[in-house]
């Protein structure tokens, strides 16, 4: 019998609570896979009172009987990875023998982070996390990157690294008038980091093929969210990876028809970190209340998140581009206390009503949200007003809500 392959993806601009859902559904898979992004992600998971933030390692690692794979769709920051491993070990969670990294995975070097930070100051417009994500993926597309497995041959890696370092020092030198750290220093640093984690390397494509054959259930853990996808997100205010289901196919070799359960995670309101269009943003007191009650501060950078009401045009779009088959709605407790709760049902653009977002960010900046008001509710499934709110979302999106979450803790509730 074929095993079930599951994807858990964010349907907004990240921070939907994917980490929590992945943890709550822990009986439904044996292997967790990260297929895109890097240390820009921050998956917050609570184990009792203990708050753990994972950046690059799949959350599956927290269950000591599970295995975790980082695929080549990611860009790997070795220094950050080693810190994360140390954090886990402090909690008696040992990743050895359970963590695997595809040898094809490209790396994030110090100069990628440097360039990311400098570029962001210069243009000041994307508001990136400063983790080197954009430059690392650019160098991959430009065919200059180094695959982590290439470090197995030090001389070969050095020659390739030299080429990349030359390029980086020209870019940073000419654009920002700054020197980068010396070639040999940076190379040796990354080589010794590599030596610490080389036992985790594997061929990710064969790994997954074998596990599938053994009947293991596999979960693909999305990072960021559909609206941050490099191709279909709110470009250029996006991250540089493929955050949607297509991203899984690109970096795992898993046949498309094998992924039949695609769980889309959404908050019952909307947040965004960094710049870019956000039609339902509340810059007033309401935004402030959502931020405080929802503790909406970046897990990676600590930046305050922009907050606003739920946006159905964007949600419908995200469901479409991810192929979401079921919805999980999180943070319902944050809306309790509001007398009225608003949901954007469509937009007005140049006098026309539209129910799908326009293709271009420039236009998304100009839409006016049209709202429907709901009576306030308690985060309790028996609350009639909550039921109305949930029923409306199901009807509008044509997608079933299978779980809701209404607290910071570990649990999520199955919706009957
Ligand atoms: P980058 O991924 O650091 O290049 O940042 C690009 C955009 O994606 C910025 O708006 C970031 O705030 C946003 N972003 C990146 N990672 C996350 C995340 O894990 N959660 C929320 N937003 C993110
Ligand atoms: Mg996050």
Taking residues 243-247, report their average pLDDT: 98
Instruction: Answer whether the bond into residue 236 is a cis peptide, omega within 30°.
Output: yes
pLDDT band (50, 70, 90) for residue 349: very high
Residues 184, 210, single domain; the answer is: no
Cα 347 from Cα 366, distance rounded (Å): 10
Residues 246, 302, single domain; the answer is: no
The answer to whether the Cα torsion of 243, 249, 255, 257 is positive or negative is positive
Residues 275, 354, single domain; the answer is: yes
Residues 65, 169, single domain; the answer is: no
User: What integer pLDDT is reported at residue 202 of this predicted model?
Assistant: 98
Cα 134 from Cα 266, distance rounded (Å): 25
CATH number of the domain that residue 307 is part of: 3.90.170.10
CATH number of the domain that residue 124 is part of: 1.10.300.10
Q: Are 66 and 31 in contact (CB under 8 A)?
A: yes
Residue that finishes a domain, picked among 208, 237, 258: 258
Question: In angstroms, what is the span from residue 160 Cα to ligand 2's centroid?
Answer: 33
Cα 286 from Cα 322, distance rounded (Å): 30
| Ligand 1, CB cutoff 6 Å, lining residues | 13-15, 40-42, 126-129, 131, 133-134, 223-224, 228, 237, 239-240, 273-274
Closest ligand 1 atom, CA of 134?
Answer: 4
Q: What domain count does the chain have?
A: 3
Residues 99, 223, single domain; the answer is: yes
Q: Which residues are catalytic?
A: 15, 43
User: What integer pLDDT is reported at residue 1 of this predicted model?
Assistant: 57
User: What integer pLDDT is reported at residue 46 of this predicted model?
Assistant: 76
- The model's pTM is 0.96
CATH number of the domain that residue 61 is part of: 3.40.440.10
Residue that finishes a domain, picked among 197, 220, 247: 197
CB neighbours of 90 closer than 8 A, spacing ≥ 6?
A: none
The range of the structural domain enclosing residue 331 comes to 265-414
Work out the percent of the chain whose per-residue pLDDT is above 90. Answer: 90
Residues 80, 219, single domain; the answer is: yes
Helix ranges, 311-366 (H): 312-322, 332-335, 361-364
Residue 327: pLDDT above 90? Answer: yes
């Amino acid at each position: 019998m074929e095993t079930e392959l599951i994807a858990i993806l964010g349907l907004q601009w990240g921070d939907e609570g994917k980490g929590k859902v992945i943890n709550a559904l822990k009986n439904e898979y044996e292997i967790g896979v990260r297929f895109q992004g890097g240390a820009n992600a921050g998956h917050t998971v609570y184990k009792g009172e203990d708050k753990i933030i994972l950046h690059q390692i799949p959350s599956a690692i927290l269950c000591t009987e599970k295995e975790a794979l980082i695929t080549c769709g990611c860009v790997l920051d070795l220094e950050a990875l080693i810190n994360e491993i140390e954090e886990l070990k402090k909690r008696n969670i040992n990743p050895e023998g359970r963590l695997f990294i595809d040898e094809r995975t490209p790396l994030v070097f110090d100069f990628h982070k440097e360039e990311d930070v400098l570029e962001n100051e210069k243009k000041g417009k994307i508001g990136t996390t400063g983790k080197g994500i954009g430059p690392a993926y650019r160098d991959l597309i430009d065919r200059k990157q180094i695959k982590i497995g290439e470090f197995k041959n030090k001389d070969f890696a050095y020659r390739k690294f030299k080429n990349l370092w030359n390029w980086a020092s020209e870019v940073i030198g000419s654009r920002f008038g700054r020197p980068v750290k010396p070639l040999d220093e940076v190379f040796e640093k990354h080589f010794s980091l590599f030596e610490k984690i080389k036992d985790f390397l594997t061929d990710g494509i064969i790994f997954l093929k074998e596990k599938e054959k053994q009947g293991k259930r596999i979960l693909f853990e999305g990072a960021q969210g559909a609206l941050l996808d490099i191709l279909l997100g709110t470009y250029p205010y996006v991250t540089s990876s493929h955050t949607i289901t297509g991203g899984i196919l690109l970096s795992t070799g898993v046949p498309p028809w094998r992924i039949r359960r695609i769980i889309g995670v959404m908050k019952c309101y909307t947040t965004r970190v960094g710049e870019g269009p956000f039609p339902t943003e509340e810059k007033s007191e309401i935004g402030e209340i959502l931020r405080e009650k929802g503790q909406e501060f970046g897990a990676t950078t600590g930046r305050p998140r922009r907050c606003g009401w739920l946006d159905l045009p964007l949600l419908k779009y995200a469901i479409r581009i991810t192929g979401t088959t079921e919805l999980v709605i999180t943070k319902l407790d944050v809306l309790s206390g509001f007398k009225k709760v608003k949901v954007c049902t469509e937009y007005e653009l140049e006098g026309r009503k539209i129910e799908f977002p326009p293709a271009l960010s420039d236009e998304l900046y100009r839409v006016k949200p049209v709202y429907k008001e709901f009576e306030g509710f308690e985060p309790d499934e028996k609350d009639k007003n909550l039921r109305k709110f949930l029923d409306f979302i199901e009807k509008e999106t044509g997608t079933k809500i299978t779980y809701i979450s209404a607290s910071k803790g570990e649990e999520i509730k199955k919706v009957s």
